[in-house]
Structure 1
């Protein structure tokens, strides 16, 4: 007769059955996740590659450190029915969400998968994005969106539009709390374009990415104008004309490489400082080249980028808006390993004047640096605001006030350095001592005045000049007198409006010592909900 199983044997048999059941579920789960990872199939992937575009997962792999990506809600599917949706419920619902690391620091990411519903946003799709945005804000880590979508999913109606509203609200709440970066890798039309516009930086790729509120067909129907998608909202248009995009690239690989570099310069959130990365560039390195780079004649031009390269660590800096408003350079760099934001007039473009676009660019950059604890260094060589009917009618007063407001409102360490001329209201706006710069420095070549000597002499002494037998001779004499009396290099320093006049060769060392002193700066803000900056 067969022996009756013992209690121990029965328990062992039961555990074996359970293990087999669990293993069956694990195998099923692996297959489902593998299916979700593969996406809609090889043909869809080939079609994506044929457009010169990478898939969403390929982009994530380029952005994040190797094998660091942790996906959330990979098994999410839409719940919609009708219009053919009930027969097609792919995993991920067309957006991949999660987190990983960039240079070892946590970064959250979501990437539209154009292979699924053209990356169009539906209810479940939006909820996945909401989830990862909430996680990024809670964890205090940057958020990068890889955008490649066709807008709202028409079949889901108003629920898709409500999904965009949730994204916009989260963009706004996270503004100034965590860095938000939008990378445009495909089309972005209609209301979808507003999320990137709410973020801190926008990257675009030529030929494959476009942004516009109304496409070429609508423009043609309403205005009769003929224009291509790239001509209307391509990378070069937004990087050089509209200012919507901060950076434009020829390919996705170089674009994502620079996103990684930008993240290395930024703090994870507004409660932290940017990471320090000291190299081999000596803090006390002299800058003899500056004597040749900057002409002593204030009317001669030069490229201020070369000045910046001479001052900063290893000559490396990352310019924001390099193709827009070239008369003002805004860039991130390091001084003795510490990240700084540099705002500089560029006499190599439009003589370095401030205009509407330069004012907008500078204001946004100053606000960003202030929000994320990045000290500001301002290099001043400005002849004034750009005159003209177009500028006045375009609101140069309002736009210039944006830059003024941003500087006055900034509480981070602020150092201004007058390289040559600083005239009129533009001098005040470029972080002068009177609007709150912690230290105001100048080179011996500085000319700080209400206006240039020639214009001042023509106004003050116009009667004497007009009555003279040789008017031009008297005019030149009065110009010399005005320069000697009110525009000599130590005039502002004698009146306490400049803290020190320094040797240009000591610029790097002086800036580094000054920033080290200001590192523990504390500024009290007035009690208020928020200010009302000029728009």
Structure 2
């Protein structure tokens, strides 16, 4: 008696699984300019590192004698692998099989991906292209469930939520993504979509049937929709670019919430002083400037002078800049106001973006560098209708509950309640000579406080300008530095050396063993 027949059967099933949906389905995938899930995994991971889990899972078909006649593999591919030598879990729907709509084993494997990441405390990567449950059910004809299985019938959402507080999760939309895969896509710390991808709660046919709107997938949930909605962080020019962005994101974070980010070697001198910073802020208060240039001048420069700054969610809440960078090799979270949008004011969207980003930094022990040019909450009827004050206060609460080191560089404005969102607990505060702070910006405050005096003047405009110039002097950073309301007023060119020295001290003081943050990040 020998087991060779069974061993041959194992090999046969593995070979069938490698065929995915068959040569015709694979060819159709390539005709669309898209990779298959196995090609995506190979493109993401270090060569030869993929260790597949559940390769033999699927839907078999047998003849009357009990012999296997066909085998449809689970349409979710899953396994361990390495990225730059770091262990990760990676998985994704196989669109060549039923358009990625889960069969029973595929659904179980998708949940198991999260369970594996939690068990082994390693980053989780999901590469999405697929639909959710089918009204026709899943599995063989005799087991068909007419209305599908409710998502709440099992605890599959528990590990989905737990991963956000325990391990880094990065996801990509690489085609149409709907239903449960769309929920998994946004349940992440970083998400990216390609230009031809679409993220949908329900597809065009369902929307037309329910609401009468005749729209394409792209109109419903393409990049032009979800980069601005905040559902997706970044756009990729190609699948290769999406995979590279995921790998870059992971380079800034630890494997799990029980570790701190690894410090990388830094060849950029910590005493580098950029002359461009001295006059990057115009002396005329109303003239805009480029905060991204400030950030890139300060943070580490890497190979061939490229900035270490990796921006996230640029199109959502655009008055606030968020991203990751390195300072003297340390990974840091970076926030800053972009005065090119709403003068940098905090909108409801910017507040949501800030709250989520600070929760992320807390989850993985990333110090925060805050470049401040905050005129206050956005005002007006649209801002009131959006609930800006509630979202803004929630963002401030997240900042004040954070437990990572903060350094705040007051570049220009810091006004009103919203300014508090840029100064974490016990923040190290540096001020540039261009800084101005107070309860209100001079331009708005003078018009309100001196309304009668201005109206009674022979030349109201001249009197208002005179009052503004007089009060602007009181908002200078020099009196605050004299009273030690800020730790130091500095030459802008000193920003990098000051921050590098502070960060070395702050990180050396983090002697307690890191643990997950109690306020788990939510999508």
Taking structure 2 as the reference length, what is the TM-score of the superposition?
A: 0.89
Residue 389 of structure 2 corresponds to 397
Residue 128 of structure 2 corresponds to 147
Per-residue deviation at 1:447? Answer: 0.5
Q: Please state whether the residue corresponding to 2:137 is helix, strand or coil.
A: helix
Per-residue deviation at 1:533? Answer: 11
> What residue ranges of structure 1 are gaps of 5+ in the alignment?
1-17
- Identify if the C-alpha distance between structure 1 residues 402 and 98 changes in structure 2 by more than 3 Å, giving closer, same or farther: same
Per-residue deviation, residues 215-272 of structure 1 (Å, max 9, x unmatched): 2223333333332110101123211x21101112232111111111111121111111
Work out whether residues 126 and 163 of structure 1, in 8 Å CA contact, stay in contact via their aligned partners in 2.
Answer: no
Alignment counterpart, residue 229 of structure 2, candidates 242, 267, 270? 242
Work out whether residues 29 and 96 of structure 2, in 8 Å CA contact, stay in contact via their aligned partners in 1.
Answer: yes
Matches of 2:479 and 2:60 in 1, distance apart? 73
Work out whether residues 136 and 142 of structure 1, in 8 Å CA contact, stay in contact via their aligned partners in 2.
Answer: yes
Matches of 1:182 and 1:381 in 2, distance apart? 32
Matches of 1:450 and 1:289 in 2, distance apart? 30
Residue 319 of structure 1 corresponds to 311
- Identify if the C-alpha distance between structure 1 residues 185 and 174 changes in structure 2 by more than 3 Å, giving closer, same or farther: same
Work out whether residues 354 and 395 of structure 2, in 8 Å CA contact, stay in contact via their aligned partners in 1.
Answer: yes
The residue correspondences of 1:127-526 to structure 2 (distance < 5 A) are 127-153=108-134, 154-156=136-138, 157=145, 160-162=149-151, 166-207=155-196, 209-239=197-227, 241-314=228-301, 315-431=307-423, 436-484=425-473, 486-521=474-509
More helix by share: 1
Q: Which has the higher contact order (CA 8 A, sep 6+)?
A: 2
Per-residue deviation, residues 430-465 of structure 1 (Å, max 9, x unmatched): 22xxx5242111111110111122333333344444
Q: Please state whether the residue corresponding to 1:148 is helix, strand or coil.
A: strand
Matches of 2:153 and 2:183 in 1, distance apart? 9
- Identify if the C-alpha distance between structure 1 residues 104 and 532 changes in structure 2 by more than 3 Å, giving closer, same or farther: closer
Work out whether residues 127 and 163 of structure 1, in 8 Å CA contact, stay in contact via their aligned partners in 2.
Answer: no
Matches of 2:451 and 2:337 in 1, distance apart? 31
Work out whether residues 61 and 68 of structure 2, in 8 Å CA contact, stay in contact via their aligned partners in 1.
Answer: no
Matches of 1:30 and 1:61 in 2, distance apart? 21
Q: Please state whether the residue corresponding to 1:284 is helix, strand or coil.
A: coil
Matches of 2:250 and 2:402 in 1, distance apart? 22
Q: Please state whether the residue corresponding to 2:91 is helix, strand or coil.
A: strand
Matches of 1:299 and 1:469 in 2, distance apart? 25
Equivalenced residues, count? 502
Per-residue deviation at 1:79? Answer: 7.7
Matches of 1:370 and 1:411 in 2, distance apart? 7
Matches of 1:87 and 1:350 in 2, distance apart? 65
Say if 2:81 is the partner of 1:92.
no
Work out whether residues 362 and 402 of structure 2, in 8 Å CA contact, stay in contact via their aligned partners in 1.
Answer: yes
Alignment counterpart, residue 34 of structure 1, candidates 1, 10, 15? 15
- Identify if the C-alpha distance between structure 1 residues 222 and 27 changes in structure 2 by more than 3 Å, giving closer, same or farther: closer
Q: Which moved more, 1:165-174 or 1:367-376?
A: 165-174
Residue 3 of structure 1 corresponds to none
Residue 94 of structure 2 corresponds to 113
Residue 63 of structure 1 corresponds to 44
- Identify if the C-alpha distance between structure 1 residues 508 and 29 changes in structure 2 by more than 3 Å, giving closer, same or farther: same
Per-residue deviation at 1:470? Answer: 4.6
- Identify if the C-alpha distance between structure 1 residues 470 and 232 changes in structure 2 by more than 3 Å, giving closer, same or farther: closer
Per-residue deviation at 1:473? Answer: 4.5
CA RMSD of aligned residues (A): 2.7
Work out whether residues 121 and 160 of structure 1, in 8 Å CA contact, stay in contact via their aligned partners in 2.
Answer: no
Per-residue deviation, residues 114-168 of structure 1 (Å, max 9, x unmatched): 1122211133222222222211111110111111112114323366544895442
Matches of 2:214 and 2:21 in 1, distance apart? 36
Matches of 2:202 and 2:445 in 1, distance apart? 50
Which of the pair has more CA radius of gyration?
1
Matches of 2:371 and 2:522 in 1, distance apart? 24
Q: Please state whether the residue corresponding to 1:490 is helix, strand or coil.
A: helix
Work out whether residues 164 and 191 of structure 1, in 8 Å CA contact, stay in contact via their aligned partners in 2.
Answer: no
Per-residue deviation, residues 375-410 of structure 1 (Å, max 9, x unmatched): 101000122221110110110111111211110111
Residue 13 of structure 1 corresponds to none
Work out whether residues 171 and 199 of structure 1, in 8 Å CA contact, stay in contact via their aligned partners in 2.
Answer: no
Work out whether residues 356 and 521 of structure 2, in 8 Å CA contact, stay in contact via their aligned partners in 1.
Answer: no
> What residue ranges of structure 2 are gaps of 5+ in the alignment?
139-144, 302-306
Matches of 1:237 and 1:353 in 2, distance apart? 22
- Identify if the C-alpha distance between structure 1 residues 534 and 26 changes in structure 2 by more than 3 Å, giving closer, same or farther: closer
- Identify if the C-alpha distance between structure 1 residues 262 and 454 changes in structure 2 by more than 3 Å, giving closer, same or farther: closer
Q: Which moved more, 1:463-472 or 1:496-505?
A: 463-472
